[in-house]
Structure 1
Amino acid sequence: MNKLIKNKKAMDYSAFLVIVVLIVIGYLFFQLHAKLDVFEMSIGEQEAALMDVYKKEDKLLFYVDKSAEYSVYHAFDYLARNGGAKKNQLPVFSENGFVYWYKDNNKLYRDIDLYDSFRHYLNMYLNTYFSKYPKFIPKDNYEFVVRDNKVIGVAVKPVLLNIFPNMISNKNYFSVASMVSKDLDLNMLTGLGVYAVRPSFSVDAEIDLDDFALLFDKMDVLLDCLKSNTVGTCVNSIRSDEFIWRFIEYPDKGVVAFNVVFNNLVNPHTGEKSFVRFVLELP
């Protein structure tokens, strides 16, 4: 009887020992696996990822600078062709789509905010270019300063570049980056982290919105002259080196359509001079 009890105790002890050994082996395996996870990246891979994101930053800044340069000239040309106004801001002559600068005895051109209109069109073109970039660039993201033939754009939100892009699929990148740039919740991106860039720009452009102010002053003189003289006579009286005046009369409508070329404003990308289009009701 005593022998049976001893054998039973020995079996219980052996079972306990086996369980302890299994627990220890499991713990050691877990610890070893956790330590091995630290070395999942090969030596130099982290540094290579950082160098890669710096290259992406250079590409981004170059793209933004060139986009801004093209957008500035496109915006000015579009501004001029729309008579300096935003779309739907001024009434339009149905015969050719030109905006009215003078209608119902009102000098509508004096109500135009040129700088606001220019910023509007500049933002429109920037958004178009940015939508074509492979990485997400926030839209409507700039505060603009226009002065002394220089256009400065200050980015409000950063562009986020993932430092370890293979940790996040291209399919999800745009949606995630969009949310991150909106709420700046950096924990939403995986990998080594993100590199935040505020791609501001400065463009030296041969444009001058003050040329519009000079043209507006000539409009005042022209309208006074038209009260008692022909269109041709009045246009000849205000000719100068700054502008080339072209016009078409619509006698049955009591309207004159103008296409005024800025002699000193040439788009370097198209080689064409900028021109302003508008119509005047004859006073």
Structure 2
Amino acid sequence: MKVTVNTLHKKARDGEKVVMLTCYDASFAQVMDEAGVDVLLVGDSLGTVLQGADSTLPVTLDEMVYHTRLVARGAKNALVLADLPFGSYQESREQAFASAARLMQAGAHMVKLEGGAYMAETTRFLVERGIPVCAHIGLTPQSVNTMGGYRVQGKTDEDAARLLDDAKALADAGASLVLMECMPAELARRVTETVSVPTIGIGAGLDVSGQVLVVYDMLGIYPGKKAKFVKDFMAGADSIAGAIKAYADAVRAKTFPAAEHIFS
């Protein structure tokens, strides 16, 4: 059955976890689709995991359109969510719409943008024009230079309050999902209980509406040190399809993330 925004909201209301993975091509899209992954995120993380860059900043809109088209060809039932890359939406609401329209025309069903309450008006502008939006708060990789690196966000009371306000503003502006990256589990729980839309966590604890990982990370393909929130699901699996199904099953069974993957 085709996954839609309404499907995701119903899953959250019913207490069923939403399963999301990054995806960059048609072959992986087909495997994930058959494994029952709900959302395929065409992430600008392709800059680091596919292109070998040290951040997501060099990824262009043309590249995102290309990979979105590939994923859309392989996905039969999953919802395709595509990242708006750095520099393609921050200048104006009109720029954001033009960029998002290209991703939707390539086959995306929703776009994701990074940023806090200051992106609320852009979110509203897109939603009012027929483009569903996933908000992304917490660690926002496109802002890595202003954040001083890849660090857990929301650890102080002031920062936690700001992130909670960000989530509220973006949900009120019409965001269909709120993705939270590298945040204390307790803060992510508070956000989930506060906003009226599903929340997706990556390094944000168990008390969210769903989980996402970079597919290369959950297959054990990553350079250097493994991030705290990552689990290698390829270990013990007999195939990539088996590893992806094990991830989906663990998310739905609420056994992933476990205590060792969570920030306090």
Measured against the shorter chain, the TM-score band is under 0.3
Identify, as 1 or 2, the structure richer in helix.
1
User: Looking at CA atoms only, which structure, 1 or 2, has the larger radius of gyration?
Assistant: 1
TM-score, length of structure 2 as denominator length: 0.26
TM-score, length of structure 1 as denominator length: 0.25
Identify, as 1 or 2, the structure richer in strand.
1
